[in-house]
Amino acid sequence: MLIGKSFSPFTIPLFLRLSYSNDPLESGIVGALANILKGVSCRVEVDYDRVLNLDFVAGREQLHLPWVEEAIEMAIKREGIDGLRGVVDYHFEVNYGLDISSASATIISTLAALKKALSLKLSPLDLASISHMIELKYNIGFGCTFSQLIGGVDLFTTPSVPGKARYLRIGVPDDLRIVVAGRPAHEFPIYTRRAFPQSSSIDLGSVKSFDDIIPLCRRFSEEFMSESTRLKWIASELSKANILSYGFGFSGNVVYALVYRDYMIDVASILLNIFPTEYIFISEIDPIGVRVYL
């Protein structure tokens, strides 16, 4: 059997608008995304076959991932491979139902592991393009794959299409921490574009540093929660702590706070009064993005 291992970070939105056309390779996110050190590891153990016959598991849980299967089919067909058999095993460092673009991370980590196992000639950008198209087709992401591939905090000035987007890598303080909390479903999130706020008035040309990110993140979050009494209450509670900014997941089912390390416990204590303990975690920014293990 052929073995490959990889990791992809999960992603939180700082501020953004959605830019869509009928072509997924012209569609994606314009704005700022932050990749965190929590994510998904993927281990594939496969061999060649006439058809695609893979088991997707996370520990003892059997997963139904038709969108991952389609991404795999797209990748192997480009290499002239008819099918594969074997097991794709995931380790999610936090619950995959959390609203932090877990599905796109699952796709790109799977393709990266298969590239290693099968010595595929497809480039990382080729794999990211496949993942990007699939996350948009199945409404399991808004276009986070490219950011997950490259890691860090990324400001996209054009739609976040792998290999085509114009972007700026934003440096962050070494002691920056992200405190995240949520109430996940027991399935990957499905997103609707109509429910997402459009931060179209932000002047991206004015963003040059992390200090420029913070007020825009706050402004975007205020727009996001404008019609939700519950989110307003959570934001008011977080504002009692010494935070840089707060924000929400792509559909509002996750809340996060950007905070310096010295104050992260204060923020976590506030969130413990709102969310279950097992769905609160503290992370750093992932500076690397998708990586493959030897």
Domains and CATH numbers, the chain: 1-294 (3.30.230.120)
pLDDT of residue 185: 78
User: What's the token pair of residue 132?
Assistant: 């990007």
Average pLDDT of 78-104?
96
| Pairing of the two strands 254-260 and 176-182 | antiparallel
Q: What is the pTM of this model?
A: 0.96
186 or 258, greater pLDDT? 258
Band (198; pLDDT cuts 50, 70, 90): low
pLDDT of residue 275: 94
Per-residue pLDDT at 92 exceeds 90: yes
Band (251; pLDDT cuts 50, 70, 90): confident
pLDDT of residue 223: 87
pLDDT of residue 201: 63
Give the position of tokens 């969108």: 67
| Pairing of the two strands 53-58 and 83-92 | parallel
Per-residue pLDDT at 186 exceeds 90: no
User: What's the token pair of residue 61?
Assistant: 């849980």
Band (197; pLDDT cuts 50, 70, 90): low
User: What's the token pair of residue 70?
Assistant: 């389609």
Q: 259-284: buried (b, 16+ CB within 10 Å) or exposed (e) per residue? A: beeebbebbbebbeeebeeebbbbbe
